[in-house]
Amino acid sequence: MITTIIIVITVLVSIRAFKNDSLMDSMIFHPPAVNRGEWHRLLTYGVLHADYTHLIFNMFTLYVFGMEIERFCKSALGETTGAICFILLYLSSLLISILPTYFKHKNNVSYYSLGASGAVCAMIFAYVLVNPMNFMGILFIPIMLPAFLFGIIFLLISLSLDKKQSGGINHSAHIAGSVYGIFYMVAVFLVLSDINLMNLFVAQIRVDSLSDLIHIGF
């Protein structure tokens, strides 16, 4: 339910901003504007997207993984506490994932960033933490990998692309969001329950054959 609400809000604001330059300009992440005290941009950039492809991809991914993590939080921590835990995960991920970008481009007047990708990556890696042996893949690519291996490869590729500054994509936000998603889940569950997610993660990983590492086909 919370995931759906986040998606609806993001879709509505993004579509509105496509046709409203003043709305886009007032909410997009722009380091010099943050320096002037417009702190809201550290969150509002996450409800904006560059185009429909960007929006649809992020919201589809958020739906798939957000729903799973929302259910997990509510099941493990109770309906109310789990809901609060999930909301804080999403909002704090937006903030934390953009901070490396802010410090890197703090005085860059030509730098802008938008999109929920950092928070979406936090959801993906929260899922990886909870379900490390579940198979994952990328749309239209008929190769599936266990979540923990998918996560490792994703981070290595993101680190490489971030160094090359390629594609106009904010890879540092993806990396920061991914790492933070794991950290948040481990820390929150240690504080609010007796569940050690890192121990559970390690206990689940078991590779007996090649079929445990790769699956060809959808």
CATH, range 2-203: 1.20.1540.10
Q: According to the model, what pLDDT value does residue 37 have?
A: 96
Q: According to the model, what pLDDT value does residue 157 have?
A: 92
Q: According to the model, what pLDDT value does residue 137 have?
A: 76
Note down pLDDT in tens along the chain; length 218 residues.
Answer: 899 999 999 999 999 999 999 999 999 999 999 999 999 999 999 999 999 999 999 999 999 999 999 999 999 999 999 999 999 999 999 999 999 999 999 999 999 999 999 999 999 999 999 999 998 877 666 778 899 999 999 999 999 988 887 667 899 999 999 999 999 999 999 999 989 999 999 998 876 555 556 666 55
pLDDT by residue (tens digit) across 92-110? 999 999 999 999 999 999 9
Distance, in Å, from the CA atom of 190 to the CA atom of 193, rounded to the nearest integer, reads: 6
Contact 67, 127 (CB under 8 A): no
- Six-digit token string for 103: 């410090």
CA-based nearest residue to 66, from 132, 119, 129, 13: 119
Q: According to the model, what pLDDT value does residue 22 have?
A: 97
Size (the chain), residues:
218
Q: Is the dihedral of CA 9, 15, 18, 20 positive or negative?
A: negative
* φ, ψ dihedrals at 135, nearest 5°: -75, 140
Distance, in Å, from the CA atom of 21 to the CA atom of 16, rounded to the nearest integer, reads: 9
Instruction: Tell me which residue has tokens 């790492």.
Output: 179
- The domain spans of the chain are 2-203
3-state secondary structure of 59: helix
Contact 67, 33 (CB under 8 A): no
